[in-house]
Amino acid sequence: MKRRLQRASLALWLAPGLAAAIGVGGCDPDASDEVLATPDARIAIHRVESGAPTREGLAFIDAVARIHGEVDAATDMERKVAALRRGLALPVPANLPEAEVLRLELATRLGETLAGRAEGVAVGLDLLEPMLDPERSLPLDRATARALVTLGDLAVKAGDDALAAGSYARAIRVMSSLRKEIEQ
């Protein structure tokens, strides 16, 4: 009986402290940042299999090539951004696995272009982060590694070290997989 009372009083004594600790941990935005501040270096990759050429597929590849040509020729940043956005808005034809890589290249170029001005960093992050989400499987291609490096560079500019470190580490893992593929 005495022991049970001792336990009850200990629980009563600890309860406010525990509640306070949980409350602080659950509501303090800094505390949740601490949890998210671990670099996420998970990477899932898949090989890009070449699909059978179709008229729609070739038209898409041609349109993307023209967009890149337009960006090469443009000196004005706004024009570059507009052209790249148009490229990303192109409807992706069915049965063109390479489209994933082509879209990543466009997004990377747009991210690099946007990184040229301070207000573009957040926009670039908003564009690339979902495309390169660690939950998504990414194509085993140099374009993926370049996109991840660009995401890392943007994250550095935004002061998000965890995202930057995770992205760089994932880029290295993609390149490492490519290296092993070549060596085989």
Partner 1 sequence: MTATRPTRSTMLALACAVLLSAACGPQAGGPTVTPGGTGTGGTDPAPQGTNEGQGMGELKQRLGDLVDREEVLRPQAASDAGKCEQLCDLATSICSVQEKLCELADDHPDDDAYQALCREARAECREAQESCVRCVESNQNQSLPPGS
Give contact residues for partner 1 (rule: CB under 8 A).
38-39, 41, 145, 149, 152-153, 156, 161, 164-166, 168-169, 171-172, 175-176, 178-179, 182-183
Task: Tell which residue, 149, 151, 144, 162, has the closest CA to residue 128.
Answer: 151
Please, are residues 133 and 126 in contact by the beta-carbon 8 Å criterion? no
Q: Does an H or E element contain 46, and which?
A: strand 44-46
137 φψ region: left (φ > 0), alpha (ψ -120 to 50), beta (else) = beta
User: In whole angstroms, what is the distance from residue 39 CA to residue 161 CA?
Assistant: 8
Closest approach, Cβ 127 to partner 1, in A, equals 20
- Least Cβ distance, residue 148 to partner 1 (angstroms): 9
Q: Shortest gap between Cβ of 178 and partner 1 (angstroms)?
A: 6
- Residue closer to partner 1, measured from CB, 90 or 172: 172
Residue with Cβ nearer partner 1 (105 or 153): 153
Q: CB of 179: closest distance to partner 1 in angstroms? A: 5
In this complex, which beta carbon is closest to partner 1, that of residue 86 or of residue 157? 157
CB closer to partner 1 out of 43 and 88: 43
**Cα dihedral 161→163→164→165 (10° resolution):** 80
Cross-strand pairs, 44? 137
